[in-house]
Structure 1
């Protein structure tokens, strides 16, 4: 399985960049992960509700355009379904059996995601009812992708 992470914004903190890079490196033997960082939409210093809504719509459209056409799409969404690492690994395995070779995970920007984006994806995944920064979620996601690969190959994760 080739994994794609499509997200808004660049990682600002060095510790997050280093963590993501480490797990991207670890996933290479299992199909690899490509990360596509789209620029945050421009917005004024004191945006109103209308401004934020417009940004969410515009970013959602750009995120959808960046998804590989044949990919199974998963939106990281606070309103999505929570699942265990084993459940995610099982989902990946089933998709592979069904002939799906690309899986795209979408992470929205600071103001969230549009309803259009939510309707357009195949699956909505929530890591927790707690709120995490969209940058922190990227690290959690690539770690879980790696963990899924290890689970699906019956390889130890901790050694």
Structure 2
């Protein structure tokens, strides 16, 4: 099984890198886990709606270039469906049982995901209505993927 995170921008903070590295190492017994970074579009602080749409569109193209047709895609979106850890674990288990061996999660840039990325996604997932830094979201998502495997294994990790 392959699990990819396609993310916009580079991870800068050492403490996020360390946390993600730890969970990536733990995930290696369950799947091939990769993080694929695409460059963020440089833009001034204040943008018109048209400029924001253009930035999201360019980042969206970069994201879609990293996703094949056979991948099952989760787009992280505030308006996506919230799931409990148990529901998420069950969903991943069901996907792999029914032949989805390539699962990709997409985290957009600071402006969010382009409509074309949301359209390509098989489902949208939300971790609540909080706005979180994208770097922190990578860590939270990586931990939740690991937690899902541990739940499915019946491990006491999820207590």
| TM-score range relative to shorter protein | over 0.9
Structure 1 unaligned runs (5+)? Answer: none
Tell me which residue corresponds to 1:103.
Answer: 103
Equivalent position SS for 2:77: strand
Equivalent position SS for 1:70: coil
Task: Tell me if structure 1 keeps the 8 A contact 2:89–2:151.
Answer: yes
Equivalent position SS for 1:77: strand
Distance 2:122 2:46 in 1: 34
Q: Does 1:91 align with 2:123?
A: no
Give TM-score scaled by structure 1 length. Answer: 0.94
Task: Tell me if structure 1 keeps the 8 A contact 2:60–2:114.
Answer: yes
Equivalent position SS for 2:74: strand
Tell me which residue corresponds to 2:23.
Answer: 23
Give 1:20 shift. Answer: 0.8
Deviations 1:27-86 (A, max 9, x none): 000013100011111223543332221010111121111013311000000010000111
Structure 1 pair 124–2 and aligned structure 2 pair: CA distance change class (3 A)? same
Pairs within 5 Å for 1:58-77: 58-77=58-77
Distance 1:94 1:44 in 2: 43
Pairs within 5 Å for 1:28-39: 28-39=28-39
CA RMSD of aligned residues (A): 1.5
Tell me which residue corresponds to 2:134.
Answer: 134
Distance 1:158 1:55 in 2: 39
Task: Tell me if structure 1 keeps the 8 A contact 2:150–2:158.
Answer: no
Deviations 1:101-127 (A, max 9, x none): 010000000111111211111000000
Structure 2 unaligned runs (5+)? Answer: none
Aligned residues: 159
Task: Tell me if structure 1 keeps the 8 A contact 2:41–2:55.
Answer: yes
